[in-house]
């Protein structure tokens, strides 16, 4: 099981922030302290997406058939 320490190492001590871009497009109000329960899921979703991008770049998301561009 992954521990917070493992995640910190993977994230290279990234400073996470959370904004409501619809209400605060200038990113002047950090909501992280007000909504900490959202952070783990958002971090997991970002990690999953980054892994998916890496798989795609390495051709692992494809069945071996080459895409035909018309």
The per-residue pLDDT for range 34-52, each reduced to its tens digit, is: 999 998 999 999 999 999 9
70 within some domain = no
44 within some domain = yes
67 within some domain = no
Residue 63 confidence class, pLDDT cut points 50, 70, 90: low
28 within some domain = yes
Q: Judge whether 48 and 35 are in contact, CB under 8 Å.
A: no
pLDDT tens profile 10-39: 656 778 889 999 999 999 999 999 999 998
Share of the chain above pLDDT 70, in %: 71
- Is the whole model's pTM more than 0.85, yes or no? no
| CA distances (Å), origin 61, targets 26, 47, 57, 58 | 37, 16, 9, 8
Q: Specify the pLDDT at position 50.
A: 92
The average pLDDT across 53-62 equals 84
20 within some domain = yes
Which residue range is the domain that position 19 belongs to? 8-55
Number of domains in the chain: 1
């Amino acid at each position: 099981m992954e521990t917070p320490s493992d995640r910190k190492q993977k994230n290279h001590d990234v400073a996470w922030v959370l904004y409501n871009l619809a209400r605060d497009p200038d990113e002047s109000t950090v909501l992280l302290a007000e909504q900490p329960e959202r952070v783990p899921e958002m971090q997991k979703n970002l990690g999953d997406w980054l892994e998916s991008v890496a798989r795609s770049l390495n051709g692992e998301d494809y069945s071996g058939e080459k895409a035909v561009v018309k």
